[in-house]
Amino acid sequence: MESDRAVTAATAATADGSFDASMPGVGPAYERVLLKLSGEMLMGETGYGIDADTVQGIAQELARVRELGVQVAIVVGGGNIFRGVAASSRGMERATADYMGMLATVMNALALQDALEKRGVQTRVQTAIAMHAVAEPYIRRRAIRHLEKGRVVILAAGSGDPYFTTDTTAALRALELGADVLLKATKVDGIYTADPMKDPHARKYDHLDYATALERDLRVMDSTAFALCKDNSLPIVVFNLQKGNIEQIVRGRPLGTLVTAEPAGFAAGGR
């Protein structure tokens, strides 16, 4: 299976700290990745909306990943602009609020597309809610074709259905598009045994298995998203979106926490 191959490649690469994707016969650890970028990742320090410098930084990094030949699909969130649950808790009908949340993700997708294209990276935005004036509709086979042609495919409007999240969309699209791994960019550098802000004894997992994550309620992603990954053995890497990290991961460096069916382990000398 493709995902097994990807994990083997990642593991082999990490055994040797000097992994170099430019070496003859050595390629990146992953051929096709699905990156989940939450809205929060695009707002920088501003606390709301889209921060141009932050988006440009991400685009710069993605351009380098493309240069390595890795195929990239991205699912963008919308929490920096609008979250359905929050609005429904203030009295709005949940489905309506969720549709607004999905529209928010389209704005983020267009901002990211603009930044990528300014760097010469070819992109296509596909939306799960038809919006012909601004983007293509999401069509799985067409998305795959774009990826094969080296275009970054930005998937917006979530799954197109209320009551879901963009994490669930990311897991679903990763499976549909045959991605080797789901890369979940966050503000923390991986998954810990407990909240490292509250517990000084919290230790970071280098590698975590689905069963332990569930048993210890570690909340890697929402339960629907996580179940999709677990049931289909889709590896997840949870990592901090710091400069250079996406490139390091696709080159096979063990950053963040890798979640698979293999038994859990802690980072060497980790806390």
* Beta-bridge partners for 155: 75, 126
**Cβ at position 85, least distance to ligand UDP in Å:** 6
* 122 versus 240: smaller Cβ distance to ligand UDP: 240
Provide CB contacts within 8 A for 262, sequence distance 6+. Answer: 7, 207, 209
Report the SS3 class of residue 127.
strand
Which one, of 60, 82, 236, lies nearest residue 157 by Cα? 82
| Interatomic CA distance for residues 120 and 141, integer angstroms | 24
183 binds ligand UDP (CB under 6 A): no
Residue corresponding to tokens 């069916």: 261
Q: What does DSSP assign to residue 83?
A: -
127 binds ligand UDP (CB under 6 A): no
**Would you state the structure tokens that stand for residue 116, as one six-digit string?**
């990528």
Among 38, 71, 126, 245, binds ligand UDP (CB under 6 A): 38
Among 43, 72, 102, 183, binds ligand UDP (CB under 6 A): 102
237 binds ligand UDP (CB under 6 A): no
**Cβ at position 37, least distance to ligand UDP in Å:** 8
* Beta-bridge partners for 103: none
161 binds ligand UDP (CB under 6 A): yes
**Cβ at position 104, least distance to ligand UDP in Å:** 6
54 binds ligand UDP (CB under 6 A): no
Binding site for ligand UDP (CB under 6 A): 38-40, 77-79, 83-85, 97-98, 101-102, 104-105, 158-159, 161-162, 164-167, 169
